[in-house]
């Protein structure tokens, strides 16, 4: 059974870059799409973007200038970078896989989530 | 961007009751609509995709219906573990994939 685990700092200073990694165990990166999704009390669930096993990316247009997602297939990991963060980026960040191979947009399973706070 | 609205915001019911949750899209999403369940302290999990298809391992008491802009998630007989927040999500017009604000099913 595939499992996803987010890791990274829980506190990021304003204007800095938020960097998170999702480690996939019990399954392969291929041939799925892998997403980052965040959750806040105010804005609810927000999809940030995805990457395929071959490195194809799609981002949320609202964040595309600040987001980069990359994949490391050798280590079964993918990563999120969010630049120039503000307090509005404080959220629980989830990584998730598409439920079926080669499909886009139905997310399961998810990692347990990691709370990232943006504060000085 | 397609905006999803959900109603009611909160549904107060008892175990064994039938739950009916609604999701409305700002424009047609055809049948590209899914439902997720989020229990307290947990990540969301996929219940239903493509309006009416149950995800692997999801019990038969969960069912979905609708098309276009109006959709329904029905839980025929609530079990104690079903008291949670439910979100709809669309993949008809993306990026971005978008989620509704959620309906909380809580104990009456």
Q: Report the residue from A105, A110, A111 with minimal CB separation from B91.
A: A105
pLDDT for the residue B72: 98
Q: Is A25 a residue whose pLDDT tops 90?
A: yes
Q: Which of residues 14-73 of B touch A (CB under 8 A)?
A: 32, 34, 36, 42-46, 49-50, 55-56
Reference B86, options B101, B66, B71; nearest CA is B101
Give percent of chain A above pLDDT 70. Answer: 100
Going by pLDDT thresholds of 50, 70 and 90, the confidence category of residue A41 is confident
Decide: residue B48, CB within 10 A, 0-12 exposed, 13-18 middle, 19+ buried. Answer: buried
| Chain B residues close to A106, C-beta within 8 Å | 34, 46, 49-50, 55, 91
| Chain A residues close to B43, C-beta within 8 Å | 94, 96, 109-113
Count Cβ atoms below 10 Å from residue A63 Cβ, excluding itself. Answer: 19
| Chain B residues close to A47, C-beta within 8 Å | 95-99
Backbone φ and ψ for A87, nearest 5 degrees, come out as -60, -30
> Computed from CA positions of residues B60, B61, B62, B65, in that sequence, does the dihedral angle turn out positive or negative?
positive
Q: Which residue has the tokens 């969301």?
A: B44
pLDDT for the residue B38: 98
Quick: pLDDT tens for B15-40: 999 999 999 999 999 999 999 999 99
B98 touches chain A (CB under 8 A): yes
pLDDT for the residue A102: 86
Of all residues in chain A, the one with the smallest CA distance to B103 is A44
Measure CA B105 to chain center. 11
Going by pLDDT thresholds of 50, 70 and 90, the confidence category of residue A103 is confident
pLDDT (mean) for A28-34: 94
Q: Is B56 a residue whose pLDDT tops 90?
A: yes
Angstrom distance (rounded) from CA B70 to CA A119:
40
Q: Is A42 a residue whose pLDDT tops 90?
A: no
pLDDT (mean) for B101-106: 98
| Chain B residues close to A3, C-beta within 8 Å | none
pLDDT for the residue A36: 98
Q: Does B89 sit within 8 Å of A99, measured CB to CB? A: no
Quick: pLDDT tens for A52-89: 999 999 999 999 999 999 999 999 999 999 999 999 99
Q: Is A37 a residue whose pLDDT tops 90?
A: yes
Q: Is B8 a residue whose pLDDT tops 90?
A: yes
């Amino acid at each position: 059974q595939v499992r996803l685990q987010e890791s990274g700092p829980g506190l990021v200073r304003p204007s800095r870059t938020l960097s998170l990694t999702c480690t996939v165990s019990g399954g392969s990166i291929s041939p799925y799409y892998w997403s980052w999704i965040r959750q806040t009390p105010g804005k609810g669930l927000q999809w940030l973007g995805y990457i395929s096993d071959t490195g194809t990316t799609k981002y949320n247009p609202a964040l595309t200038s600040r987001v980069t997602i990359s994949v490391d297939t050798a280590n079964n990991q993918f990563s999120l970078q969010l630049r120039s963060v503000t307090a509005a980026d404080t959220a629980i960040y989830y990584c998730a896989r598409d439920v079926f191979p080669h499909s886009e947009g139905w997310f399961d399973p998810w990692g347990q989530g990691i709370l990232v706070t943006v504060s000085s | 961007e397609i905006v999803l609205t959900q109603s009611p915001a909160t549904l107060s019911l008892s175990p064994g009751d039938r739950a009916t949750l609604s999701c409305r899209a700002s424009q047609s999403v055809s049948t590209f609509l899914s439902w997720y369940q989020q229990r307290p302290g947990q990540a969301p999990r996929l219940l239903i995709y493509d309006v009416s298809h149950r995800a692997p391992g999801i019990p038969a008491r969960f069912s979905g219906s609708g098309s276009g802009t109006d959709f329904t998630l029905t839980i025929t007989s609530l079990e104690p573990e079903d008291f949670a927040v439910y979100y709809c999500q669309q993949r008809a017009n993306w990026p971005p994939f978008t989620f509704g604000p959620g309906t909380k099913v809580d104990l009456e």
